[in-house]
A and B are shown apart, each in its own frame.
Chain A
Amino acid sequence: MSSSTRSADLGSPPAPVRRFRGGWRIVAAKEFTDHVRSVRFLVLVALISLAGLAAVNSAAGPIRDAAEAASETPSIFLFLFTLSPDRLPAFHEFIGILGPLLGIGLGFDAISGERSQRTLPRLVSQPIHRDEIINGKFVAGLSAVGLALAVVMAIVGGYGALELGVGPSWSDLARVGAFFVVTLAYVGLWLALAIVLSVYTRRAATAALTAIAIWLLFTLFGGLIAGLIADAVHPVGAEASAEQVLRNARLELNVRRVSPDQLYRDATGVLLNPSQRSTGILLTDQVGALPSELPLRDSLLLAWWQVITIIGAATALFTAAYVRFLRQEVRA
């Protein structure tokens, strides 16, 4: 505190309140920069890229075979994202499993971090509306997720195109675009969950652990639980009829659809695979005689309710966070 204080220009005309519009953009820009510069973000992108490359690499053999066997198959490029040899998940399944981590990682301390660093009172005393803080943070998280996905998909697509010499057609690109949007919504759902937890819990660690517990419950144990429920309701004995087996399988699938992971798999499976005609279980006699390809519009029609459910759940979670945050006391 050395030099003299300068005189303030108290005489300057005050600007109208209108100039304080769009504060969420300022918050979003700052948060986005923070995300992209953070180690956390780099680690998550590296992790997902590695998983993606592993999936594509192991799919390389089958893709070559497929390309040789059926030269008339027009969408070889999409196999990059869907083909799963052996017991390794395909790329889109990997994203289904690891994508949530990206959302959780970027959102679990959104609000509680401001509280623990004691920056919240300072932030809310600036001329912005309080909802612009949480809106800006959500937009920033979603943008960072979008960037991460674009990077990962570019790496995987580029690697596949170079290594295998398969390039995308325009319709492939449209499908990849649709896949991107659905993935963004799916990771956005987990981001919204993480933000809700960051509003409700005081400590970031609690929010992170809770989010990861929910993630494990759905992605790892979801299938297990669904199987148990299906077996309990429709037991499949040694001499079970085909109908019993089918009922069991249908119930299991429906129970699994409680999990966003399954919804995401359904939707992206259909979007990335033009020859897939249903998100459910198909019997051979229901499949058309000719394995013709569906236009993207029809694939979207097949996946629409899964997509709507994902977006709806994300919206509901974000709304919960929004309402709670607006009602919270600054010092709470």
Chain B
Amino acid sequence: MEPVSTTPAVAATGEAGLDDRLASDGPAIEAVGLTKRYGASTAVDELTLSVGRGEVFGLLGPNGAGKTTTILMLLGLTEPTAGTASVDGLDPSRDPLAVKARVGYVPDEVGFYDDLTALENLRYTCRLNRIERREAERRIDEALDDVGLLDVASRPVGTYSRGMRQRLGLADALVKRPKILILDEPTVNIDPEGVRELLLLVERLRTDQGVTVLLSSHLLHQVQQVCDRIGIFVRGRLRACGTVDELADELDDRWVFDIGVADIDQPRDLLERLPGVSGCTRSEGRWLVHADHDIRIDLHRAVVAAGGRLFHLARREADLDAIYHRYFEGGERELEHTIS
């Protein structure tokens, strides 16, 4: 495949990867009709996706949705059954070494040689990337400092906690000085504080170095804060893609209010009679009211007019939970349909 770019000069050079400045015009990551089948089952189904340079993109989906398979195809570690991928303008299945040299990859539950120290593990990575020794030491120091492991660098990795390993995984990817960072389930198995630090670091990498980040996760709240755009991936298909707001716009009931009322006999009847309300449910002693527009003023008036008291009224942000559930439930329904 020719490098995906609008610049004719790239196509003219023929040999992709020889000139970064030319290659860096197109999107950082692009997939067109990318498909992977294992026998009869389809792990990734015609994925078409484009991640811009310097963007943080979240690939969101339940376990087994095909996120890791997609990542492996982007790295040239598994051959797509159909379709093409382009990473930094290079075809991973034709030019895997050049792709791997510029992509930092932290696999799901990253592992290290337990008998070796963190330093030795990272030195091996540097040697495999043909980084000259003195430069390697400098980069290792920086990377370990960035992830806060500098003071335990001489300890065997076997003594590390899971969170420390995850951070070491990030350091391992950073010593390459990657243009693109791919993190597979980076927040699994680490405590909330660790997650926060990791996401802050990701954000800093993007801001300071312009690194493009593709991260996969099944934990939406964690990635919501750092991702510019999110793709929702269910059973091998990209079901929705966009910013959180864009995705929320597609929801029918994006107006959800959390209200607390007292001194009313039948609050449900009152609430459901309001114009625009599609339904309400009881939730933790309060009510969740779904509506098709902003009903806060009407709602307040109605409660007061009925002689009741309103002690809580808040709009629920259109969060990924709603988005996620919608697409995942949609997926389930589709599944039931195909079974029956």
Contacts and interface: CB of A to CB of B under 8 A. Distances in A.
Interface of A: 1-10, 13-17, 19-20, 23, 26-27, 29-30, 34, 117-129, 329-331
B113 A117 contact: yes
Of the candidates A27, A29, A34, A118, the one having the most CB atoms from chain B within 10 angstroms of its own CB is A118
A216 B310 CA distance: 83
A2 B128 contact: no
B97 interface: yes
B25 interface: no
Contacts of B115: 34
Interface stretch (B204-212, B226-234, B245-253, B270-278): B204-212
Given A8-B210, A121-B107, 17 more contacts: A1-B198, A5-B201, A5-B205, A6-B142, A6-B208, A10-B210, A26-B128, A34-B113, A122-B111, A122-B112, A122-B169, A122-B172, A124-B77, A125-B100, A125-B105, A331-B68, A331-B72
A11 to B, nearest CB: 8
B209 A5 contact: yes
Contacts of B179: 10
Q: Which 7 residue pairs spanning A and B have beta carbons closest together? A: A118-B111, A121-B107, A126-B128, A127-B101, A8-B209, A125-B105, A1-B197
A61 to B, nearest CB: 45
A46 to B, nearest CB: 20
A271 to B, nearest CB: 38
Interface stretch (B12-20, B279-287, B299-307, B320-328): B12-20
B14 to A, nearest CB: 13
Contacts of A119: 111-113
A4 B105 contact: no
B227 to A, nearest CB: 19
A20 B97 contact: yes
Contacts of A27: 128
Interface residues of B, number: 53
B97 A128 contact: yes
Interface stretch (B3-11, B144-152, B215-223, B258-266): B144-152
Given A118-B109, A122-B110, A127 B68 contact: no
A124 B77 CA distance: 7
B226 to A, nearest CB: 14
B41 to A, nearest CB: 13
A7 B201 CA distance: 13
Interface of B: 17-20, 68, 72, 75, 77-78, 95, 97-98, 100-103, 105, 107-116, 124-125, 127-130, 142, 145-148, 167, 169, 172, 177, 179, 197-198, 200-201, 204-205, 208-211
A1 B146 contact: yes
A8 B210 CA distance: 9
Given A119-B113, A127-B129, A14 B209 contact: no
A4 B112 CA distance: 25
Contacts, number: 115
Contacts of A1: 146-148, 167, 197-198, 200-201
A20 B145 contact: no
B125 A7 contact: no
A226 to B, nearest CB: 42
Nearest to B115: A34
Contacts of A2: 145, 148
Contacts of B204: 4-5
A4 B102 CA distance: 22
B209 A3 contact: no
Contact of B105 (A5, A7, A34, A122): A122
A320 to B, nearest CB: 22
Contacts of A121: 77, 105, 107-108, 110-111
A162 to B, nearest CB: 37
A14 B18 contact: yes
Contacts of A9: 177
A288 B114 CA distance: 61
A17 B201 contact: no
Contacts of A7: 208-209
Given A117-B114, A121-B107, A125-B105, A4 B17 contact: no
A152 to B, nearest CB: 25
A15 to B, nearest CB: 8
A20 B108 CA distance: 26
Contacts of A125: 75, 77, 100, 103, 105, 107
Given A121-B107, A122-B105, A125-B107, A4 B208 contact: yes
A30 B126 CA distance: 12
A331 B108 CA distance: 11
B158 to A, nearest CB: 10
Nearest to B178: A8
B128 A23 contact: yes
Contacts of B210: 8, 10
B18 A5 contact: no
Contacts of A126: 100, 125, 128-129
Given A23-B128, A118-B110, A118-B111, A127 B209 contact: no
A120 B103 CA distance: 16
A127 B77 CA distance: 11
A129 to B, nearest CB: 7
Nearest to A29: B127
Contacts of A15: 130
Contact of A14 (B20, B72, B169): B20
A127 B107 CA distance: 15
Contact of B209 (A10, A122, A123): A10
A147 to B, nearest CB: 19
A300 B198 CA distance: 64
A3 B97 contact: no
29 contacts: A1-B146, A3-B146, A5-B201, A5-B204, A5-B208, A10-B210, A13-B20, A14-B17, A14-B20, A15-B130, A16-B17, A17-B95, A20-B130, A26-B128, A30-B127, A34-B116, A118-B107, A118-B110, A121-B77, A122-B110, A122-B111, A122-B125, A124-B77, A125-B105, A125-B107, A126-B100, A127-B100, A330-B72, A330-B77
A37 B122 CA distance: 18
A124 B107 CA distance: 11
